[in-house]
């Protein structure tokens, strides 16, 4: 179901957790988002070799852990041995990669909304979608997002009750026919699309909108419409 903001205050989603101050997509970043007063968190889902949905943005471990292996070649138990974030915080021992199941439990206990972004390895192995959707359905405030329209269409067919957000892109989205994205309840746009002609087209689509890439409260003056119901930011504390 769509999340309604009381009095149209856009809800604040911590992008990859409070990733402006913690290492992205880790339990530390999600706990910090809660501490900063975020309404929800955004995270990225990839699949392990044994089909477990885990929280990591990239297809491989190079940027986050200095290891070249693709996530999809390691089992969950192998992946749990990997420590991410070490090279960014030198004195730090690194974090484990969380599973989607762990984060869903965290959100349920702490009444956080969840924005689950499906990444490439999920699109490549849609046979694991059912597991992801069953976990999502444990939460009251949840939506599924992706840049991949095809996988979102499958989600909508499998679970019409789940809210779907399509991540629009300047170059690849069909801006002359936004009506074709019928599977989507909402559009998520980067801050760079908060300009004409994109903004009018998005507002006229009648869908709910959330904006990512915003970094400070001054961005909220960009809000021209109650159709924008969410900010997705690395710094949730600046918006709450």
Residues lying near Ca ion in the complex (CB under 5 A) are found at 44, 117
User: 78 vs 88, which CB is nearer to ligand G3P?
Assistant: 88
14 near ligand G3P, rule: CB under 6 A? no
Q: Token digits for 18?
A: 């409070």
User: 15 vs 207, which CB is nearer to ligand G3P?
Assistant: 15
120 near ligand G3P, rule: CB under 6 A? no
Q: Token digits for 57?
A: 């943005």
Per-position b or e across 94-121, b if 16+ CB within 10 A of its CB: bbebbbbbebbebbeeeebbbbbbbbbb
42 near ligand G3P, rule: CB under 6 A? yes
When CB distances to ligand G3P are compared, the closest residue is 212
DSSP 98: P
Query: Interface residues for ligand G3P in 152-211 (CB under 6 A)?
Result: 167, 188
Out of 3, 29, 40, 44, the residue judged to bind ligand G3P by CB under 6 A: 44
What is the SS3 assignment for 3?
Answer: coil
Q: Where are the alpha helices (DSSP H) in the chain?
A: 27-35, 62-65, 76-79, 100-110, 120-124, 129-136, 149-158, 198-204
Catalytic residue (choose from 15, 95, 143, 188): 15
User: 32 vs 148, which CB is nearer to ligand G3P?
Assistant: 148
**Short-list 5, 39, 55, CA closest to 237:** 39
Binding site for ligand G3P (CB under 6 A): 15, 42, 44, 57, 117, 167, 188, 212, 232
């Amino acid at each position: 179901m769509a999340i309604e903001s009381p009095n149209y205050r856009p809800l604040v989603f911590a992008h990859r957790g409070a990733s402006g101050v913690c290492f992205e997509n880790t339990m530390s970043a999600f706990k910090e988002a809660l501490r900063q007063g975020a309404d929800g968190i955004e995270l990225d889902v990839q699949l392990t070799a044994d089909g477990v949905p885990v929280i990591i943005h990239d297809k491989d471990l190079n940027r986050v852990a200095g290891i070249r292996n693709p996530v999809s070649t390691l089992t969950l138990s192998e992946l749990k041995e990997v420590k991410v974030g070490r090279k960014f915080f030198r004195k730090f021992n690194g974090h484990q990669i969380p599973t989607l199941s762990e984060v869903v439990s965290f959100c349920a206990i702490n009444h956080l909304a969840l924005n689950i972004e499906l990444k490439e390895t999920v699109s490549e192995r849609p046979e694991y979608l059912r597991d992801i959707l069953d976990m999502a359905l444990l939460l009251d405030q949840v939506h599924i997002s992706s840049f991949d329209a095809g996988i979102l269409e499958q989600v909508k067919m499998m679970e019409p009750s789940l809210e779907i957000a399509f991540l629009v892109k300047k170059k690849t989205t069909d801006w002359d026919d936004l009506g074709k994205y019928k599977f989507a309840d909402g559009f998520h746009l980067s801050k760079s699309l908060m300009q004409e002609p994109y903004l009018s087209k998005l507002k006229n689509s009648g869908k709910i909108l959330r904006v990512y890439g915003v970094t400070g409260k001054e961005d909220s003056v960009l809000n021209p419409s109650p159709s924008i119901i969410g900010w997705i930011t690395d710094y949730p504390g600046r918006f709450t």
